[in-house]
Structure 1
């Protein structure tokens, strides 16, 4: 069973020096992995997300120390359009540009349709879908001004297939793929691309906690939880790593990916090949 225990950054070519990247939901997990990968490639990064101020401060300082780039933080609430607008405006005012936007912020709730709390539906749609609409519409003017832009939406395998009890999440992620296509079409002649990355299960501290919780709840081994519960739909039976997602985000941000736009790219171990 291939489960990475220690998360490490891969050495990246400095292909993004001079670029500014904003990654929502980037104080931990996939978002932080992407932010670190973009920083390793030379981009200045703006973090956003939840967490204790001192821990976020250490995360930001670590990025500066590790990669020699600028790193700042916005506490913007991704469920509030006004807060999102303030974050984009502050980023452009401070850096003078915004080249790469990664829409990663997201939450989850699991319940049958008839029992799904309405407030949870509204919250998931706001954070997982509407926030990407607001960040994108507000970032495009800065990208158009410089004749370069990369919008990367972190969707999910659930943007391509459904699962029971995840109505809001699946609906939002399907919507993200639609938004990705429209953004790509509207910016196709302007040096701007928009793509969606669709991960299956990615190994993060939250997933690690889920493994232990499932094992205790069902009285089964960790390996059985991983293979038969979490990775039941992933033919390769391994988690993706945050480094893999980060490396793909870096590639999509480079000139080498200038003709890749409007796609939903699965990183799911074959899940959606069924």
Structure 2
């Protein structure tokens, strides 16, 4: 294991559950100096930060954060930079899934998902950039989705928010790498997290630990776009290399989801 995460100061949003919590745990296990955990769920944040703080004393700093509030996000990132004078990682992870038939999507849902999944990432990214440019280094990691890379039926709202995150992250890499900044955007398929609510996660889902291990491995390789698991990398390659075959696959998925909604009220 390399020392890429040792003695580093990191910010993680959506840090009290799911992939965000896994990121915080793995950072600490790999020797991070301090992890600033931001989350909107006060109960989960208090519980998980206390648990991690007992194992990694003096390294865990929870902060109640609504990422749709620029002031909240700026305060979290500024606190991390002030801790030891440097800000090494910002994981803009907070977000929410949205898989619904079009007729159930309202404009309020559109606004909510864009504010959370896109603007929450924008705030974290643009609050961190000037601090990292001044110090000459830093790695910003944003949460995308495979739905931001390929068209997926019943996920138009979610896909729109995530494709914007991916495009922004890729553009910033080429603009700011000369200033010492590194960007990554991770694009998962199904990961077994609370994003599924009370539903049982789909059978092709992977564990949080497997997801974070892969994210960290690709971060060390300075990968810009990180897609997982392998089945999602295969689908992404199919979309770009054999559109006719991809279209057949996705139309089958649309039919399957349509029938699942009709008979079970959910997409799987």
Which category of TM-score, normalised to the shorter sequence, fits these structures? 0.7 to 0.9
Q: Give ranges in structure 2 of 5+ residues lacking alignment.
A: 236-268
Quote the residue 2:228 is aligned against: 267
Q: Show the 5 A alignment for 1:108-123.
A: 108-123=97-112
Verify the 8 A CA contact 2:41 2:64 in the aligned structure 1: no
Report the counterpart of residue 217 of structure 1 in structure 2.
none
1:1-274 equivalent positions in 2, closer than 5 A:
15-43=4-32, 44-53=34-43, 55-68=44-57, 70-205=59-194, 207=196, 209-211=198-200, 230-231=202-203, 238-254=204-220, 257=221, 260-261=222-223, 263-274=224-235
Higher RCO (C-alpha 8 Å, min separation 6): 1
Pick which of 137-146 and 179-188 moved more. Answer: 137-146
Q: Is the contact made by 2:189 and 2:229 (CA closer than 8 Å) also made in structure 1?
A: yes
Residue 106 of structure 1 and its aligned partner are, at CA, apart by: 0.6
For normalisation by structure 2, the TM-score amounts to: 0.78
Unaligned runs of 5+ in 1: 1-11, 212-225, 232-237
Deviation larger for 31-40 or 185-194: 185-194
C-alpha separation between the residues in 1 aligned to 2:58 and 2:230?
33
Shift of 1:65: 3.1
* Offset at residue 269 of structure 1 (A): 3.2
Tell me how far apart the structure 2 counterparts of residues 130 and 205 of structure 1 sit (CA, whole Å): 21
Give the number of the structure whose residues are more often helix, by fraction.
2
Q: Tell me how far 1:272 sits from its aligned partner.
A: 4.6
Distance 2:198 2:112 in 1: 24
Does the residue aligned with 2:198 lie in a helix, a strand or coil?
A: helix
Aligned residues: 234
Kindly indicate whether the alpha-carbon contact (under 8 Å) linking 1:47 and 1:72 is maintained by their aligned counterparts in 2. yes
TM-score by length of 1: 0.77
Q: What is the SS of the residue equivalent to 1:152? A: strand
Structure-1 separation of matches of 2:141 and 2:102: 30
1:97-129 deviation digits (Å, cap 9, x = unpaired): 211011111113333335411111111111111
What value does the CA root-mean-square deviation take over the aligned residues? Answer: 2.3
Cα displacement (A) at 1:34: 0.9
User: Using the alignment, how far apart are the partners of 1:115 and 1:203 within structure 2?
Assistant: 25
Change (3 A) 1:82 1:56: closer
Query: Contact (CA 8 Å) 1:180, 1:196: kept in 2 or not?
Result: yes
Kindly indicate whether the alpha-carbon contact (under 8 Å) linking 2:36 and 2:76 is maintained by their aligned counterparts in 1.
no
Partner secondary structure for residue 36 of structure 2 = strand
Offset of 1:33 from its aligned partner? 0.4
Query: Judging changes above 3 Å, is the alpha-carbon distance between structure 1 residues 140 and 86 closer, same or farther for their aligned structure 2 residues?
Result: same
Give the 3 Å change call, closer, same or farther, for CA 205–129 of structure 1 in structure 2. closer
In the alignment, which residue of structure 1 is the partner of 2:251?
Answer: none
Cα drift, residue 253 of structure 1? 4.7
